[in-house]
């Protein structure tokens, strides 16, 4: 009987086993939020003894009975429990102690193998390692499609261009909040010079990008993310020094996230020096403050304030000489590089340094952010921000044609009218001339005050919808509201020893039809002194209301990611002029433009290493306040009657390869930019208006930007990293353009060179046509390349080198009135193809213990071989494309160096 029972039991077990479902062989890849493999993470089957560990690539394999879940654990990370499948795909683990998700910030940050755009990220460690004495944006020069120039060469005067688009068409953000100027679109880097000390990363998204804002960029997006509640407890102090008297010290402290839910971070620093270019001393401070409070598990508040008050001497972007002109000033530099020469650097009769190029500015930004994690599927984050900026630059004015004498050069030729034998600008001669004048100062200096108030709100709601088949749908919608007032007023700051100043060049040309003061000769010839308003006194207003939405569909396996987004914005512009107009007419016409965006993309992960992506989109963007809506926003309420939205079509496709040792990306793009408004200005060379400035508003301007970009990172062994980049662009003007001429008061010009107008009179208005179709777009290198290597021979020490090159860089064209033909055409000649340039940079760091705390010593040498190459130039519109015609040329900096020591505690 016992035997029969045992036999039956065995038979029953065999039957159950025969009919039981087989185990599922589960395979997947575990990564952290940065995409790094979670080596050693434990994968187990609850209720059984089965367990496995992720290997060096984060890959795990485990047999799981059908219907069971797998449990994934790793110290410091949230435990996951998921239904078992044969292909688990890539699983991202989250930190157990993490700040709440800020949608405003994260919606501006792309993810590798998920976001269908061409992007690159530079982390805080790389910024510390490579920055040295460079401008912050120069750390991006090994990124495809990026070209940064120092322009005149003063502190913070660099400009970053992307895919051939200038800074006004490259969106720059800090923590997802836009910082491009609301009137002309550009960014003054000196206002943000201290961000390198608090940045956790800088991400560039080229082309349309994935950033959700109501007014996207055309060339791309640069987003700087700073640290807040995720900063670890501790701090650091540092001191650095470098070439030309550069000094820099600072302190950063953070409490980290405390038990009571508070986190506080503070940074303060000071940087000063003589400047690489002659007479470009600078003195800059930087502060950053963040206080965050986790109110509950669902609510978090964060207050951030930062700014960089600074003052620096400059070399004007108009003071670039011709190629031969730079050779001519060689003797002035007493053995130093001639490319350091500053044509407006000089002294007065009392031996004081004087200048017509000086900038003082402070643009603090304060933001208050609230994050509400409504539940595990939805959240709302809102940032209120404001900026209240104050500062000025200098501008020289003069009577009877003397205004142009303030420039150190004219069309590349050195101005010798006020030039000392040693090459410095002779400010003393101006003093002598003014003091001897019986009609007051012939030349005076004024402060161009450019203050502004900027208020904004960015609010985003995010909802995750888990579909029945395991796929996921993320929905984001939000508001982008902005209100801006720019206060612009010029005041005389120096009479240069004259008794007074008669502003007959401006007050004599006021619009009599709308200004009762114009009929009053006492006002027209009023004797002005220091503090009196001159040339301009107006407020510019911009109001923007925008809304945006995005839907992102991701399959359960993570192989397919589809994104569709759109935005709509309303832009309103108006102007109040307190100088040229009386009370009745001081407010301009209000101009309103509605714009929008629609874009979509798809990323497909072929396998765990290979992916492809595609995106396309259309933008209708309102013209800028300056140059687009107001023909001469400095001096007139006259609006552009033909102002229309700019249109942009874009298409891009790319491929990526990601393994433990190799990361490779390749992409191709095509951008069509239509109905662009472009402003040109210059000096009328002959005729009844000779010596006056003209302004020409170019309409119907189309451009085509297309190219290929390649980026690779290779880690053959753990102690060596190799990087490479190559980008090839083909950027050209795709249409001719029509231009209308105005004087500096915004009045239409009918005649430039005498009784016969060199142009076509259209509606009593001088018009010309610029024949530029097929010309190369100037100002940026259309071919760039970089090769880098980093060695880590022993623990704590690393040394690296980067070689960067720029080629196929074409000059910008400059329109001159003498080039006008009687048929109203300007036949644009070929731009000058600037010789290619390259430089070699060295970086090293050593981490060690000192007094029981960690310390790091950094050293950087940029342009090791002291090779100067031309970075930008202009040629006349009718140039034959040769170097003899090039002027306003600027060269790269030669060899510079810096050392810095940081102590962490």
237-252, pLDDT tens digit by residue? 999 999 999 999 999 9
pLDDT in tens, 368-421: 999 999 988 999 999 999 999 999 999 999 988 788 899 898 878 999 999 999
Domain contains 127: no
Q: Do 116 and 665 meet the contact criterion of CB atoms below 8 Å apart?
A: no
pLDDT in tens, 3-36: 444 444 433 433 434 344 468 889 999 988 767 7
Q: Rounded to whole angstroms, how far apart are CA atoms 288 and 815?
A: 44
Is 98 part of a structural domain of the chain? no
The first and second tokens of residue 44, run together, are 């187990």
Measured in whole angstroms, the distance separating CA 256 from the mean position of its chain's CA atoms is: 30
The dihedral over CA atoms of 667, 672, 676, 679, expressed in degrees to the nearest 10, equals 50
Q: Do 146 and 204 form a contact (C-beta atoms < 8 A)?
A: yes
The arithmetic mean of pLDDT across residues 607-615, rounded, is 94
pLDDT of residue 289: 92
Burial call 766-777: b when 16+ CB within 10 Å, e when fewer: bbbbbbbeebbb
| Tokens of residue 448, six digits | 């161009």
pLDDT in tens, 734-774: 998 887 777 665 566 666 544 334 455 445 567 778 888 99
Is residue 124 assigned to a domain? no
- Start-to-end C-alpha separation, the chain: 78
Higher pLDDT, 220 or 820: 220
Tokens of 244: 């030309």
Average pLDDT value for residue range 162-172: 93
Give the list of residues 6+ apart from residue 533 with CB closer than 8 angstroms, or none.
489, 490, 491, 579
889 falls in which pLDDT band (50, 70, 90)?
very high
Residue 126 in any domain: the answer is no
Phi, psi of 491 (to 5 degrees): -130, 140
Q: Is 797 helix (H, G, I), strand (E, B) or coil?
A: strand
Of 92, 118, 146, which closes a domain?
92
Q: What is the mean pLDDT of residues 151-171?
A: 92
Q: Is 9 exposed, middle or buried (0-12, 13-18, 19+ CB in 10 A)?
A: exposed
Q: What would the mean pLDDT of 246-264 be, rounded to a whole number?
A: 90
What's the pLDDT at 79?
81
363, 316 Cβ separation under 8 angstroms:
no
Average pLDDT over residues 569-587: 90
Last residue of a domain, one of 92, 110, 135: 92
Q: Do the strands 591-605 and 409-410 form a parallel or antiparallel pair, or are they unpaired?
A: unpaired
Q: How confident is the model at residue 515, as a pLDDT?
A: 55
Q: Are strands 282-294 and 299-307 parallel, antiparallel or unpaired?
A: antiparallel
Assigned domain for 774 exists: yes
Q: What is the mean pLDDT of the chain?
A: 86
pLDDT mean over 339-367: 95
- What pLDDT does residue 22 have? 66
pLDDT attached to residue 635: 83
Rounded to 5 degrees, what are φ and ψ at 6? -60, -45
Tens digits of residue pLDDT in 73-109: 875 567 888 988 888 989 998 865 455 667 666 666 7
**Count of domains observed in the chain:** 2
Structure tokens belonging to residue 175? 């923590």
pLDDT at 856 over 80: yes
Which segments of 212-319 does DSSP mark as H helices, in order? none
Kindly tell me the sign of the dihedral angle through the C-alpha atoms of 775, 777, 779, 781.
negative
For a pLDDT cut of 70, what percent of the chain falls above it?
Answer: 87
Give the residue among 446, 317, 454, 455 at the shortest CA–CA distance from 392: 446
Within its chain, how far is the Cα of 715 from the centroid? 30
- Token representation of residue 857: 């010593």
Per cent of the chain over pLDDT 90 is: 58
Q: Express each pLDDT in 423-468 by its tens digit.
A: 999 999 999 999 999 999 999 999 999 999 999 999 999 999 999 8
Domain boundary among 66, 92, 118: 92
pLDDT value, residue 5: 44
Task: Please give the backbone phi and psi of residue 71, each rounded to the nearest 5 degrees, phi first.
Answer: -120, 130
Q: Is residue 45 part of a domain?
A: yes
Contacts of 247 (CB under 8 A, 6+ apart): 239, 240, 241, 270, 271, 272, 273
User: Which two three-digit tokens encode residue 599?
Assistant: 């874009």
Domain of 465, CATH number, reads: 2.40.170.20
On whether residue 119 sits in a domain, the answer given is no
- CA-nearest of 541, 696, 707 to 631 is 696
Q: How far apart are CA 177 and CA 673, in angstroms?
A: 25
Q: Render the burial of 652-677: b for 16+ CB within 10 Å, e for the rest.
A: bbbebebeeeebbbbbebbbbbbbbb
pLDDT digits (tens, 9 = 90+) for 686-709: 665 565 666 677 778 899 999 999
Residues near 8 by beta carbon (within 8 Å), at least 6 away in sequence: none
Is the distance from CB of 172 to CB of 220 less than 8 angstroms? no
CATH of the domain at 45: 2.60.40.4130
pTM to 2 decimal places: 0.85
Residue 631, SS3?
A: coil
Quick: pLDDT tens for 272-288. 999 999 999 999 999 99
Q: Are 692 and 724 in contact (CB under 8 A)?
A: no
Give the C-alpha separation, 608 to 217, whole Å.
32
Give me the domain span that covers residue 555: 234-590+626-904
Q: What is the pLDDT of residue 524?
A: 66
Task: Give residue 880's pLDDT band: very low, low, confident or very high (50, 70, 90).
Answer: confident
Q: Would residue 829 count as lying in a domain?
A: yes
- pLDDT tens digits, residue range 821-853? 656 677 777 789 999 999 999 999 999 998 888
Q: Are 646 and 621 in contact (CB under 8 A)?
A: yes
Q: Which of 549, 532, 539 is nearest to 494 (CA)?
A: 532
């Amino acid at each position: 009987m016992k035997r029969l029972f045992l036999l039956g039991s065995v038979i029953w077990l065999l039957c159950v086993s025969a009919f039981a479902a087989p185990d599922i062989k589960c395979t997947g890849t575990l990564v952290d939020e940065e995409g790094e493999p979670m080596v050693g993470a434990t994968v187990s089957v609850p209720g059984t003894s089965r367990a496995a560990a992720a290997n060096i690539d984060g890959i795990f394999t485990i047999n799981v009975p059908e219907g069971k879940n797998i449990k994934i654990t790793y110290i410091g990370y949230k435990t996951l429990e998921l239904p078992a499948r044969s292909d688990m795909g890539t699983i991202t683990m989250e930190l157990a102690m993490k700040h709440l998700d800020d949608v405003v910030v994260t919606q501006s940050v792309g993810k590798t193998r998920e976001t269908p755009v061409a992007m690159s990220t530079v982390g805080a460690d790389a910024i510390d390692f490579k920055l040295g004495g460079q401008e912050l944006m120069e750390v991006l020069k090994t990124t495809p499609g990026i070209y940064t120039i120092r322009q005149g060469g003063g502190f913070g005067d660099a400009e970053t261009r992307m895919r051939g688009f200038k800074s006004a068409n490259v969106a720059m953000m800090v923590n997802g909040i836009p910082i491009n100027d609301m009137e002309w679109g550009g960014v003054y880097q000196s206002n943000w010079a201290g961000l390198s000390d608090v940045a956790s990363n800088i991400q560039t998204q080229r082309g349309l990008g994935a950033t959700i804002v109501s007014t996207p960029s055309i060339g791309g997006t640069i987003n700087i993310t700073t640290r807040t509640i995720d900063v670890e407890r501790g701090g650091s102090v540092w001191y650095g020094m470098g070439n030309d008297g550069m000094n820099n010290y600072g302190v950063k402290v953070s409490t980290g996230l405390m038990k009571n839910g508070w986190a506080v971070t503070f940074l303060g620093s000071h940087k000063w020096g003589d400047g690489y270019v002659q007479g470009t001393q600078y003195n800059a401070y930087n502060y950053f403050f963040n206080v965050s409070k986790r109110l509950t598990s669902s609510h978090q508040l964060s207050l951030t304030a930062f700014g960089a008050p600074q003052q620096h001497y400059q070399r004007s972007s108009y003071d670039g000489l011709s190629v031969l002109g730079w050779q001519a000033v060689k003797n002035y530099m007493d053995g130093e590089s001639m490319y350091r020469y500053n044509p407006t650097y000089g002294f007065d009769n009392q031996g004081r340094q004087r200048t017509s190029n000086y900038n003082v500015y402070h643009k603090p930004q304060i933001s208050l952010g609230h994050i509400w994690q409504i539940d595990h599927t939805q959240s709302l984050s809102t940032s209120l921000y404001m900026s209240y900026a104050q500062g000025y630059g200098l501008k020289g004015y003069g009577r009877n044609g003397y205004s142009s004498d303030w420039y150190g050069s004219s069309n590349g030729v050195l101005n010798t009218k006020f030039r000392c034998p040693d090459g410095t600008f002779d400010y003393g001669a101006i003093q002598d001339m003014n003091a001897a004048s019986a009609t007051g100062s012939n030349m005076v200096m004024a402060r161009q005050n450019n203050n502004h108030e900027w208020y904004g709100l960015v609010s985003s709601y995010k909802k995750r919808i888990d579909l029945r088949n395991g796929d996921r749908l993320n929905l984001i919608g939000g508001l982008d509201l902005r209100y801006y007032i720019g206060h612009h007023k010029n005041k005389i700051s120096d009479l240069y020893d004259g008794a007074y100043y008669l502003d007959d060049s401006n007050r004599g040309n006021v619009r009599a039809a709308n200004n009762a003061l114009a009929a009053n000769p006492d006002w027209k010839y009023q004797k002005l002194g220091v503090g009196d308003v001159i040339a301009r006194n107006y407020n510019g207003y911009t109001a923007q209301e925008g809304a945006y939405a995005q839907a992102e569909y991701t399959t359960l396996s993570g192989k397919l990611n589809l994104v569709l987004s759109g935005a709509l914005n309303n832009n309103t512009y108006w102007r109040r002029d307190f100088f040229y107009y009386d009370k009745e007419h001081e407010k301009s016409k209000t101009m309103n433009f509605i714009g929008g965006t629609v874009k979509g993309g798809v990323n497909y992960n072929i396998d765990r290493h290979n992916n492809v992506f595609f995106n396309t989109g259309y933008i209708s963007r309102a013209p800028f306040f300056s140059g687009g809506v107001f023909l001469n926003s400095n001096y007139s309420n006259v609006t552009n009657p033909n102002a229309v939205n700019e249109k942009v079509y874009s298409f891009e496709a790319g491929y990526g390869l990601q393994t433990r040792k190799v990361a490779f990306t390749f992409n191709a793009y095509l951008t069509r930019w239509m109905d662009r408004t472009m402003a040109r200005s210059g000096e009328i060379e002959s005729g009844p208006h000779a010596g006056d400035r003209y302004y020409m508003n170019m309409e119907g301007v189309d451009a085509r930007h297309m190219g290929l970009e390649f980026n690779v990172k290779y880690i053959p062994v753990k102690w060596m990293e190799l990087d490479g980049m190559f980008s090839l662009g083909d950027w050209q003007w795709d249409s001719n353009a029509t231009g209308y001429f105005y004087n500096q008061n915004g009045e239409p010009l009918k005649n430039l060179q005498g009784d016969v107008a060199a142009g076509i009179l259209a509606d009593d208005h001088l018009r010309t046509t610029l024949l530029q179709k097929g010309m190369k777009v100037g100002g940026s290198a259309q071919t760039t390349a970089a090769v880098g290597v980093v060695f880590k021979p022993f623990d704590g020490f690393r040394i690296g080198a980067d070689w960067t090159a720029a080629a196929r860089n074409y000059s910008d064209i400059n329109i001159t009135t003498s080039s006008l033909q009687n048929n109203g055409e300007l036949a644009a000649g070929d731009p000058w193809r600037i010789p290619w340039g390259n430089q070699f940079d060295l970086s090293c760091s050593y981490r060690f213990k000192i007094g029981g705390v960690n310390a790091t010593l950094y050293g950087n040498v940029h342009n090791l071989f002291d090779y100067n190459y031309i970075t930008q130039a202009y040629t006349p519109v009718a140039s034959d494309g040769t170097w003899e015609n090039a002027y306003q040329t600027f060269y790269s900096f030669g060899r510079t160096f810096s050392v810095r020591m940081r102590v962490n505690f």
